[in-house]
Amino acid sequence: MVNEIKLLNQETIDKIAAGEVVERPASVVKELVENAIDAGATAITVEIKDGGTSLIRITDNGSGIPSSQIPLAFLRHSTSKIRSAEDLSDVKSLGFRGEALSSIAAVSHVELITKTKEELLGTRYVIEGGREISMEEIGAPDGTTFFVQHIFYNTPARKKFLKSNQTEGGYIFEILQQLALSHPEVAVRFISQGQEKMSTTGNGNRKDTIYQIFGREIAANLLEVDAEEEGFSVRGYIGNSVISRGNRNFEHFYVQGRYVKSNLLSRSVEEGYQGFLMQHQYPFCALWLSFPPGVIDVNVHPTKQEVRIEQGQRVYEALSMIMKNRLSYREDIRESTLSTPDDKEKREELPKTISPKIHQEEKETTTPLKPQPIKGPEPFEAARLQAIKDKITKEIHKDTPYESQYREFYKKKEQEEPTQLSFLSEEAKKSHRIIGQVFDTYWLVEFDEKLYIIDQHAAHEKVLYEKTMKKLKDKEMTSQRISPPIVVTLSVQEEEILHQYQDTFTQLGFEFSEFGGREYAITGVPGNLFSLDPKSLFLDVLQSCCEMKAQASGELVMEKVASMSCKAAVKGNQKLSRPEVESLIDELLTLDNPYHCPHGRPTIITISKQEMEKKFKRIV
């Protein structure tokens, strides 16, 4: 029997469409907060109960919805933000698909209270499961409040796949975090189970907003980025090596004001951090990028969190270079502390709004979060806002002695020749007092009320790497003839890679020829690296090329090859004479980034005199 084809009824169509937009409570929050921002709101409060599954309340002071247009707003594909397909190439609003309210109303109980500036009274509108229940006039302030209750009450199969209330609440916090960062001019407040989890002032300062969300440690270790390139501009902040993480959760990108996830942008930033972070460590960044109309496509994914960038490779290379330039020419010596558990107990606690702990177990409160009479949006009182702002400003600029000079340097870097700062400057070297070597690995140097500790292996690795890179770029690598030749047998893949990068091997100083079958005779090796085992070096370079993508540029391969020179570095547990270490410091002084070895490990750390005196109880 052949099943008859029939049109689905509207209720079923709405539920299917809702599944594309409303995946979980966080989807509801995202859509409604984006609408509030598009409506010109400067203050938004989000309050949830049970991870948003039983109640989501969102209050804003935006323009509101005219009473005559409220029913229309809940129809599918109704929107005030675009008029035709041509508008999609230059979308400036956060939402534009016209499905949010319809989808939310299809799977929950929705109560809306809204008032425009022009209307004398507000409107209360109730819609449940896509069916209009009531619409009446009501006294209300300007703006909009949504109560979304019992999400997925009519689609239990979908509700069953939600995670714990704690996890769902965490997803909502992450959404609000991104929206607050992308729009620092909007004050965002988040309350869960009656407890405030996040509060931003909305003063428009991006660094203040970063501080309010991530705390003082992050805000105190940021570098400002402000660059214009052909076809795009980028502004924002990146972190130094102190605040790196083991995943990409601290990488934040905003394109045309919208938070996006982009492998291209992530890989570009990470490429710029090569040599500044250890392997498998990822940087903190909050970057706002702007492109001309038509260059990006924001309608790639229903959540609008993915973008397609025209001429992505050019953007990749330019952004990577911006990162590398910003991280170079600045002192990046990590100060080590000798803290103990007792010290941690004495540290001043930051306000709870600074470091929200949404993922910690939440304590239930007895205060129900059911709809209450609206007194007005008023997410923040003016006096409390000013107090928070003053504290933030004081904290952000505390203990950051280099930040202002770095910012000034960065703005003038194209006009002036960059100079080394502090410990490795020519002027500072005159005051160095080399104390000696410990564990046959680390050199101790006293300077400017601090003890500097240099890892001789990491430092020598960096010097050799930079020397090799310079010789490669200047085509100054020499070749040393060897007799008898070294014969190596290659796999099919290795043979293909050898032919693909033959010029690279030749430039490095290798000379080789076919020896029959898949065997090759190596007759010349890099003269500059003659101390290394030539066969192992050849095979290591070949293996590195195999691991790289086929489209990798010759320059990237050369950089990988240069890192092989690190094998010739002086090792730990190897004694150096005082003249040798003085020479090593001199060579570090000439480098753009002397503070990290090619693998991202620090070459120098420091301990202050004050820190040591604390340990010996000379000062409290």
> pLDDT tens across 72-101, in order?
888 865 454 433 444 444 444 454 344 688
In this predicted model, which residue has the larger pLDDT, 82 or 510? 510
Per-chain mean pLDDT for the chain: 78
Residue 196: the pLDDT is 94
Sequence-separated (6 or more) residues with CB below 8 Å from residue 597: 275, 458, 459, 461, 462, 465, 566, 603
Tokens describing residue 132: 């209009």
What confidence tens digit (pLDDT) does each residue in 304-323 have? 566 778 778 888 889 999 99
Residue 516: the pLDDT is 81
CA distance 101 to 148: 11
Residue 497: the pLDDT is 82
Counting DSSP H helices and E strands in the chain, the numbers are: 21, 23
Asked if residue 174 has pLDDT above 60, the reply is: yes
> Under DSSP, is residue 114 helix (H, G, I), strand (E, B) or coil?
strand
pLDDT band at 242 (very low <50, low <70, confident <90, very high): confident
Residue 23: the pLDDT is 87
Sequence-separated (6 or more) residues with CB below 8 Å from residue 129: 11, 105, 106, 107, 108, 109, 153, 154
Indicate the helix (H) or strand (E) that contains 610.
Answer: helix 609-615
Residues of the chain with pLDDT > 70, as a percent, come to 73
Asked if residue 453 has pLDDT above 80, the reply is: yes
pLDDT band at 46 (very low <50, low <70, confident <90, very high): very high
> Under DSSP, is residue 377 helix (H, G, I), strand (E, B) or coil?
coil
In this predicted model, which residue has the larger pLDDT, 407 or 314? 314
- Give the least confident one: 186-195, 203-212, 272-281, 390-399: 390-399
Residue 471: the pLDDT is 76
Asked if residue 399 has pLDDT above 50, the reply is: no
CA distance 487 to 468: 25
Asked if residue 338 lies in contact with residue 617, where contact means CB atoms within 8 angstroms, the answer is no
pLDDT band at 254 (very low <50, low <70, confident <90, very high): very high
Asked if residue 282 has pLDDT above 80, the reply is: yes
Burial of 315 (0-12, 13-18, 19+ CB in 10 A): buried
Residue 226: the pLDDT is 94
End-to-end CA separation in angstroms for the chain: 88
Distances in Å between the Cα of 131 and the Cα atoms of 104, 107, 272, 578 are 12, 10, 53, 84
Residue 368: the pLDDT is 44
What confidence tens digit (pLDDT) does each residue in 108-167 have? 999 999 999 999 999 999 999 889 999 999 999 999 999 999 999 988 888 888 999 999
Give Dmax (Cα) for the chain: 97
Highest-confidence segment of 77-86, 195-204, 467-476? 195-204
Residue 45: the pLDDT is 96
Rounded-to-10 torsion of CA 194, 138, 61, 261:
70
Domains of the chain: 10-199 (3.30.565.10), 215-344+378-419 (3.30.230.10), 426-620 (3.30.1540.20)
CA distance 544 to 38: 49
In this predicted model, which residue has the larger pLDDT, 363 or 230? 230
Asked if residue 215 lies in contact with residue 354, where contact means CB atoms within 8 angstroms, the answer is yes
Burial of 561 (0-12, 13-18, 19+ CB in 10 A): buried
Asked if residue 530 has pLDDT above 60, the reply is: no
Mean pLDDT of 238-251: 87
Indicate the helix (H) or strand (E) that contains 134.
Answer: strand 131-138
Tell me how crowded residue 225 is: count the other CB atoms within 10 A of its CB: 20
Q: Which residues pair with 126 in a beta bridge?
A: 111, 134
In this predicted model, which residue has the larger pLDDT, 508 or 109? 109
Asked if residue 351 has pLDDT above 90, the reply is: no
Tell me how crowded residue 391 is: count the other CB atoms within 10 A of its CB: 14
pLDDT band at 357 (very low <50, low <70, confident <90, very high): very low
Asked if residue 365 has pLDDT above 70, the reply is: no
Among residues 323, 45, 292, 318, the alpha carbon closest in space to that of 188 is found at 45
Mean pLDDT of 242-260: 88
Asked if residue 360 has pLDDT above 80, the reply is: no
pLDDT band at 406 (very low <50, low <70, confident <90, very high): very low
CA distance 165 to 172: 11
DSSP state at residue 482? E
Asked if residue 265 has pLDDT above 70, the reply is: yes
Tokens describing residue 288: 């706002």
What confidence tens digit (pLDDT) does each residue in 53-72 have? 999 999 999 999 999 999 98
The residue type at 192: S
CA distance 180 to 209: 7
pLDDT band at 547 (very low <50, low <70, confident <90, very high): low
Tokens describing residue 163: 């995670």
Indicate the helix (H) or strand (E) that contains 10.
Answer: helix 10-21
> Under DSSP, is residue 293 helix (H, G, I), strand (E, B) or coil?
coil
Asked if residue 380 has pLDDT above 50, the reply is: no
